[in-house]
Chain A
Amino acid sequence: MLQRETDVAIIGGGPAGLAAAVEARNHGCDVLIIERDDSLGGILQQCIHPGFGLHEFDDELAGPEYAQRYIDVVENGGIDVLTNTMVLEITPTKDLYAISENGVINIISKSIVLAMGCRERTRGAIKIPGYRPTGVYTAGLAQRFVNIEGFMPGTEFVILGSGDIGMIMARRLTWEGATVHGVVEIQPYPSGLIRNKVQCLDDYNIPLYLSHTVVRVHGKDRVTGITISKVDENWKMIPGTEKFINCDTLLLSVGLIPENEITKKAGAALSRTNGPVVNQFLSTTINGIFACGNVLQVHDLVDNVAVEAKKAGKLAALYSKGVQVPTSMEKQIVRVSPGNGVGYVIPNVINLDVKEEFIEKAGSMRFSLRVRKPMQDIYIKMRSGQKELYKKFHRYVRPSEMIIFKIKESIKDFLEGLDIDTPIEVYVEPKNKQPGKRERD
């Protein structure tokens, strides 16, 4: 078996892996990126639309262009890269096994950064009755076909799910000469960004069927059409509202889930995002294993991926240099739990027992979360028991837009104000809170 040694091994060469690698290298570590695809860049290589890097580079870059900026730094920065190499397993003792054309490689690394991204939910995950004819694809796979491989998977489309990838594909397919008969969304609001609804659907008069779902896929060998139906607030179909739409292809854009097979095998605890549990240092429950990017939580802005990944890269580097970075399993931890209106919060736990000189090194205390549904005029608050730790007013919040905030006061004071037995709660509070009336989720 081939063997390699390094200080920081990074699994996945998407934007998260690349940013983490650059940062770890800047901290003087030997870094190895392991990527299963034949090029670096991850999912960005197929996201050819502009809108990436608005915050980081102050420019509206296309996905591959954004990736290229990092790839250039990686290639000139003395970072080792193994492409066409897939990580199969990290054992609980942190032994890493990967496979390439040359066989199995055993990689021994002082620390590991998980940056495997996410995968798309498929039809099995959402259960639509009917045969399994050709012509049902996930939107991301179709994106790859059309944008990289130059192959159109159909001519008459319907898209299930109004996530950003689905809406962006609606416009893309229209440009390539296909007809998109509609985007069907089970929620009463679009699940992607407003910007994408306006520029990808409204601009091309593509109907958006809100509070609708696909109830049947017709066709035996190839899709010949679908039936959609209106649903009530409990997502039950309303009889009599069915409508048949002629099409040869159905794209599914019904959500992304962190790629977590390897994380699980390594023995790391998972959280409700399906990614690993992490603390404020993005350390999993295993010593020396860190996580960032979509493998941790599905991001909507690549700029946020980069910020998170740089932090993971830096902490992995410090760990490799012998700094004791607390894991999210240690004794002195307090849980961070999502309260009213909040789907999840990262970090999942906060370590209290942190050496003072390390507080400085580790950088800011950053929280990210998503709300459960669109809301107006609300506060995002954080508390520990009765003590308010953070509060900010938002005119509008949507599940499609991740909310990020930082603790402004000194982190030392913040940590000292926490109590090990009292979980921290992050929650939504309506501005004009009426006593006795609670927001329903």
Chain B
Amino acid sequence: MIAKKPSVEEKEITCIVCPTGCSIHVKRLEDGTLSIEGNQCKRGYDYAETEFIEPKRILATTIRIEMAKVPLVPVRTDEPVPKEKLDEILDFLANIKVKAPVNCGDVLVEHVLGLDANIIATRTLGVDTCDKIACEI
């Protein structure tokens, strides 16, 4: 080996584990290991590591619902999903429609996009047959 190659990736991560909000600098070294600097504790180290390798988020949004008193039912993934998949999941959910009744916690989509996570309802919405507009007419 002749000269040291520059490290391939680096990133500045703000730790959100506690209110201190440390700025953590993560760098992938040429041997593939990570250099993590700026954290003040182990929890921050772990956070920065995961956030660098595969950041994940719980996704919470709404999907359309029919026969309920409101047009949307709030939903979320039941476990964190890779951050780079969020857009794809949102697009997928934008084209889905469910029917009341829905109970809080019901699985509305199993293994969304083949991931481990399911989409669950976060609100209970019963059937509201008296369609408001129809009633007024």
Contacts and interface: CB of A to CB of B under 8 A. Distances in A.
Interface of A: 38, 45, 48-50, 60-65, 68, 71, 147-150, 175, 194-195, 197-199, 202-203, 395-398, 401
Given A61-B122, A149-B70, A149-B71, A48 B61 contact: yes
A375 B13 CA distance: 21
Contacts of B122: 48, 61-65, 68
B16 A199 contact: yes
A219 B133 CA distance: 33
Taking each of B19, B69, B71, B72, which has the highest tally of chain A beta carbons within 10 Å of its own beta carbon?
A: B19
Given A49-B60, A198-B16, A64 B71 contact: no
A396 B14 contact: no
6 contacts: A63-B74, A68-B123, A147-B62, A149-B70, A175-B61, A194-B21
A237 B21 CA distance: 29
A189 to B, nearest CB: 10
Contacts of B35: none
B124 to A, nearest CB: 6
B58 A45 contact: no
A202 B14 contact: yes
Interface of B: 14, 16, 18-21, 57-58, 60-62, 64, 69-72, 74, 76, 83, 86, 90, 104-105, 122-124
B64 A150 contact: yes
Contacts of A48: 60-62, 74, 76, 122
A68 B76 CA distance: 15
Nearest to A394: B19
B13 to A, nearest CB: 8
A401 B74 contact: no
Nearest to A38: B69
B58 A50 contact: yes
A64 B104 contact: yes
B14 A194 contact: yes
Contact of B60 (A50, A68, A194): A50
Contacts of B19: 194, 396-398, 401
Given A50-B76, A62-B74, A150 B62 contact: yes
Contacts of B64: 150
Contact of A148 (B16, B61, B72): B72
A68 B60 CA distance: 16
A24 B127 CA distance: 31
Nearest to A45: B123
Nearest to A146: B62
A148 B76 contact: no
Given A198-B16, A199-B16, A202-B14, A150 B58 contact: no
A49 B57 CA distance: 11
A203 B84 CA distance: 11
B72 A199 contact: no
B102 to A, nearest CB: 11
Contacts of B60: 48-50, 62
Contacts of A148: 70, 72
A49 B61 CA distance: 7
Given A48-B62, A50-B60, A147 B20 contact: no
Given A194-B21, A396-B21, A401-B19, A64 B74 contact: yes
A195 B70 contact: no
Contacts of B61: 48, 175
A198 B76 contact: no
A64 B16 contact: no
B74 A60 contact: no
A198 B21 CA distance: 10
Given A38-B69, A175-B90, A62 B83 contact: no
A48 B71 CA distance: 14
A6 to B, nearest CB: 26
B83 A147 contact: no
B58 A147 contact: no
B124 A147 contact: no
A268 B42 CA distance: 49
A150 B20 contact: no
